[in-house]
Amino acid sequence: MAPGQVPIVVLKEGTSETKGNQAQRNNITAAKTIAEIVRTSLGPRGMDKMLVDTLGDVTITNDGATILKEIDVQHPAAKMMVEISKSVDNEVGDGTTSTVVLAGSLLERAEELITKNVHPTVVVDGFKKAAQKAIDTLKDIAMKVDPVDKAFLSKIARTSMASKMVAADSKELADMVVSAVLAVAEKSGDQYKVDVDNIKVEKKAGGGIHDTKFIHGIVLDKEVVHGGMPKRIENAKIALVNAALEIEKTEMSAEIRISDPHQMQQFIDEENRMLKAMVDKIAAAGANVLLCQKGIDDIAQHYLAKAGILAVRRIKESDMYKLSRATGARVINNLDELTANDLGYAKLVEERKVETDKWVFVEECKNPKSVSILVRGGSQRVVDEAERSVHDAIMAVKDVVEYPYVLVGGGAPEALASLKLREWAATLSGREQLAAEKFADGIETIPLALAENAGMDPLDTQAQLRSKSSTGKARYGIDVLNGKVADLAAKDIYEPLAVKEQVINAATEAACMILRIDEVIAASKSKDMPKPGGGHGGGSMGGSDMDM
């Protein structure tokens, strides 16, 4: 440095900086590592992962999104892979593993091009065009189906569950899932809309997976409040009340002065009379079941029991909304306004013992717009995994009801799409052609990963797949259970087009985003973090007041 020159410090001390090829290689390696973790859990022959968190809680699953959610990922590029699996899970619910595997595979192929000095921007452009082409190809080969055809929707649900632990019971579960989704589907114009929140999935260890029940109504994990109340009511007229059956404290601080004991007695009697008046209003409206979001006073419980009303208290707000949709009752905030018109109907309300807990079942509501599935299983781990499988199946069926196009599963559409992409790539000129070919290789990874997980030889499988796909029909994929390439439409293996589109879009976007990064600047983690709110003495407090 020349004398007299002062060094310029641009970045804070301790900041680490990785540039150029090194940064790209690090990011790609991190993302590929994440893809490697879930690759072995793809498909019906995929292996499960056991994840142990910091508290020692164990999760056993092969659901891509769950695996990545439970791992504590540090590297920023790896975090992006976790994000895409989450977003695919929220959007379409299935295909989370495929997305991550595809993104990892695209990055691997891109790395080969970058080492040959193809600029990342060229690769990104090629990938984006190829992704669009792949989606167009899938749309061409997709089959339109009837969105309310139970038999076909059941095939979709079964395919979704085939790769999960509940595969053996998938037939019964699939029928429940389809019934649940169709119960809450609402028609608007020519299309259907499904709000998955209206399907309540409750889980409880005990019994076997085959003990899972579909309930035309709602299951409440609460018990009846008073021992003297009836535990079973048929033809229930249900009042949903969002007000406490208790004597409310005054808003202001009030005091009552009592000069002789009679006044004390009058005071207690008056409280009793007020509580009895509340119960009388409920009975007068003709209700024989009271479901309350707030508390119920002991004396009110006594009067309710005398009136033969079954009552449950402190129900979650989300459950109150579902109960309202299921029974047709209106949620009342003021008891004075309760009338017979506000009551809901269920054929049966009953308290039952579920393992060690008592739960209340509100069953057989007429055309309920909110329903429940009570998942059972041998142990807590099994029930957790069964619940995840049911959730994925519900989402897959919902996708088809809302967007009624399906493809054959088992890697068949990917095999055909990669073939069409190679033909299309030959018409391109320049380096984009290389990127498009690599994209075709990348998308072929999904059927190959399925084959590897089933113990098949990847090279033979690839050769067979390519020759079968050249017939132009997207029917030939990996028959995982028999370990060969076969016609999967004959085996009723179907997947929603919505899931495939989302998988390709999400994976391509994540891969392109990671490829575009050529520099990583990481701030140093400071040893002593300043306490929140402090830091600048009194001055900062004054400032924060100004902003309020």
Among all residues, which ones are annotated catalytic?
63, 96-97, 392
* Residues 6 or more apart in contact with residue 13 via CB below 8 angstroms: 524
* Residues 6 or more apart in contact with residue 56 via CB below 8 angstroms: none
Structure tokens at 228: 């003297």
Q: How many CB atoms lie within 10 A of CB 356?
A: 8
- DSSP per residue over 145-170, as a string? --TT-HHHHHHHHHHHHHTSGGGGGH
Asked whether 200 and 394 are in contact (CB, 8 A), the reply is: no
Q: How many CB atoms lie within 10 A of CB 443?
A: 30
* Residues 6 or more apart in contact with residue 440 via CB below 8 angstroms: 130, 417, 418, 419, 421, 422, 425
3-class DSSP state for residue 239?
A: strand
Q: Tokens 């999400």 appear where?
A: 506
Asked whether 430 and 521 are in contact (CB, 8 A), the reply is: no
DSSP alpha helices (H): ranges in 142-260? 150-162, 170-184
Q: What angle do CA 266, 270, 273 make, to 5 degrees?
A: 140
* Residues 6 or more apart in contact with residue 373 via CB below 8 angstroms: 176, 177, 180, 199, 200, 201, 202, 212, 213, 214, 215, 390
Distance CA 414, CA 290 (A): 54
How many CA atoms does the CB half-sphere of 249 hold within 13 Å? 5
Q: How many CB atoms lie within 10 A of CB 455?
A: 9
Chain-centre distance of CA 134, in angstroms? 26
- DSSP per residue over 336-391, as a string? GG--GGG-EEEEEEEEEEETTEEEEEEE--SS-SSEEEEEEESSHHHHHHHHHHHH
Structure tokens at 119: 């600029």
- Rg, Å, the chain Cα set: 30
Q: How many CB atoms lie within 10 A of CB 369?
A: 17
Structure tokens at 44: 């019906």
